[in-house]
Chain A
C-alpha cells in the first residue's frame, strides 16, 4: 500500500476533523499493518465486509493509482490497490456512513488545495441501511444496477439466439451454395442438421415431402390429443371452428412445443381416418372452408340404421340421459347432419336428406 504519506497526526489548514474512531486496524491489502494518512480524493470506492467468527468487520477502500507527486510514505510500492480498515472495537457503521457522506460531498474539490487527480464521479456505495438523502441516492443507484443486470442477462439469451441463428444462416448458405455449384454432395450430417433446424422453426420438411393423405404416426397421435382438447371448445361454438381459431387455441393451451400450422392441418386430416370416434364424438375437416366440424359418428350411424330417432330412443340406445341425447341431436341438426320431423307423434330426427339427395 504505497499511497500513504507520513503525517504528524495534526490537522492541516484546510482539513477538518470528520470522525475519529479508536481501534481501527489498518491492513495493507491483506497485510496487517499500522496507521498512516491518505487523502479522501484518492478513494475510488469502498465497501463493507461483514464480521465473521474470529474476524472483525472491515471497510475495504479501493484507491486510484498513486499520483506522481505523492510524498513519500511508509511504502513506496505495494501490490495492492486497496486497503482494509479492520474495526476491532466496532464503530464501522458510523464510519462507513461518514465516509459515504464525505465522498459524495467531495468538500476537497471546493478548497484551493484540492488534488489535481480527477476523483471518481461515481463513488459506489455499499449495501447497508442508511438514512437521509444519501440513503435514497444509494437505493436509486442499487435499482439502476439491478436493472442493468437484468437487461444484460436478457441480452445474453438474445446473443445466444443470435449465435444459433448465425450458425443456421451459415449452414443454409453453404447448402445453398453447394446446390448452386452442384459441388459435391450435401453431407448426411448437414442434411440432418438442416432438417432439424427447419422442424424447430415449424417449417415442413421440404426434402422429404410426405403425402398429405398417409400422414405420420406423429400426426395420428396428435389427432387423438387434439380431439380431446377441442371437444369442449367445439361444442361451445356450436360445433364449428375456423382452423385459425383452432390453431390459436391449441397453441395457447400447449404453451411450449407449439404446433406449426402444417402439423395442425395434417393432424386434423387424420380425424377422418380415425373411424373409431374419440369419446363418441369425432371431428373432421372440410378442406375448402378450412374449418373444423364436429361430427357425431355414433349418432349418425344410429339414426341411419334406425331410419329416424327421438331423443328418448337415442338415449335408450346408448344409455345416455335424455337431456344429453337431445343435446347431441340438436347439435347434429345445427351442423346440418340431421333434420327434424315435428308432429303430434313427437319430435323425430332423420338424416338430412335435403343435403345429401339432389
Chain B
C-alpha cells in the first residue's frame, strides 16, 4: 500500500514556518501527524537529521518546497514533547521515533500476552510486532512495569519478563 499524503503536503505554505501563532499550531500538528504516519508506514524507528532533510517527507520536489532545518527541529521538539521522539545525542543529530508510544506498545503486548495465555498455544508474534526493535520492546515492557502489569527479570542468559 502506498503512502497517502495529506492535503497539506501539496500546499506550499506548509513548508514555511508560519508566524501567526494560531496558524503555526495547526501547521505543527499536521507536521507531527505526517511525520509519525510516514515513519509508521515505513517502519522507521531511528532518524538522522541530515538524512531526513532530503527524505520526501520534508523535501517535496514536485512543488519545489522543503522544510528548513530550523523548522524540522521545531517539529521534532513538538514530537518530543508529546512523547513520540527521543534524542539519542546532545547535538540532536539522531533520534528515536516512537510512532507508537511505549505505553501504547505495552498495552498491545499485554493484550497479546493475555490472549495467548488463554489460548495456550504456540505463540508467534503477530504481524504488528514485526520489526519492533529491541530497544522499543524494552521501553514498552518498562512502561508495563511502571503500570504494575509486568516485571523485567535479569537472568543468567539475558532478560526475561513476567506478566501479572
Contacts and interface: CB of A to CB of B under 8 A. Distances in A.
Contacts of A336: 20, 22-23
Interface string A338-358: 011111000010101111010
Interface stretch (B10-18, B100-108, B127-135): B10-18
Contacts of B15: 341, 343
The main secondary structure of chain B at its interface with chain A is helix
Interface residues of B, number: 17
B19 interface: yes
Contact of A353 (B11, B20, B22, B64): B11
Given A355-B26, A357-B7, A339 B18 contact: yes
A342 B16 contact: yes
B13 A341 contact: yes
A354 B27 contact: yes
B65 A343 contact: yes
A144 interface: no
Which among B13, B18, B19, B22 has the highest number of chain A CB atoms within 10 Å?
B13
Interface string B1-38: 00000011001110110111011001100100000000
Given A336-B23, A357-B7, A341 B16 contact: yes
Interface of A: 308, 333-334, 336, 339-343, 348, 350, 352-355, 357
Given A350-B11, A353-B11, A354-B27, A339 B20 contact: yes
A340 B22 contact: no
Contacts of A341: 12-13, 15-16, 65
Nearest to A345: B64
Contact of B19 (A333, A350, A353): A333
Contact of B20 (A334, A342, A348, A350): A334
Contacts of A348: 12
Contacts of A333: 19-20, 23
Interface of B: 7-8, 11-13, 15-16, 18-20, 22-23, 26-27, 30, 64-65
A96 B86 CA distance: 104
A341 to B, nearest CB: 4
21 contacts: A333-B19, A334-B20, A336-B22, A339-B13, A339-B20, A339-B27, A340-B13, A340-B18, A341-B15, A343-B16, A343-B64, A350-B11, A350-B12, A353-B7, A353-B11, A353-B13, A354-B13, A354-B27, A355-B23, A355-B26, A357-B7
Contacts of B13: 339-341, 350, 353-354
Which among B12, B15, B27 has the highest number of chain A CB atoms within 10 Å?
B12
Given A339-B18, A353-B7, A353-B13, 16 more contacts: A333-B20, A334-B20, A339-B16, A339-B23, A340-B18, A340-B19, A341-B12, A341-B13, A341-B15, A342-B16, A343-B65, A350-B13, A352-B23, A353-B11, A354-B18, A354-B26
Contacts of A350: 11-13
Contact of A340 (B8, B16, B64): B16
Nearest to A344: B64
9 closest pairs, A vs B, by CB? A341-B12, A354-B26, A342-B16, A339-B13, A341-B13, A350-B13, A354-B23, A341-B16, A339-B23
Contacts of B12: 308, 341, 343, 348, 350
A339 B18 CA distance: 7
Nearest to B66: A343
A95 B7 CA distance: 105
A129 to B, nearest CB: 73
A308 B13 CA distance: 10
A343 B66 CA distance: 9
Contacts of A355: 22-23, 26
Nearest to A349: B13
Nearest to A330: B19
Contacts of B18: 339-340, 354
B22 to A, nearest CB: 6
B87 to A, nearest CB: 28
Given A336-B23, A339-B23, A343-B64, A354 B16 contact: no
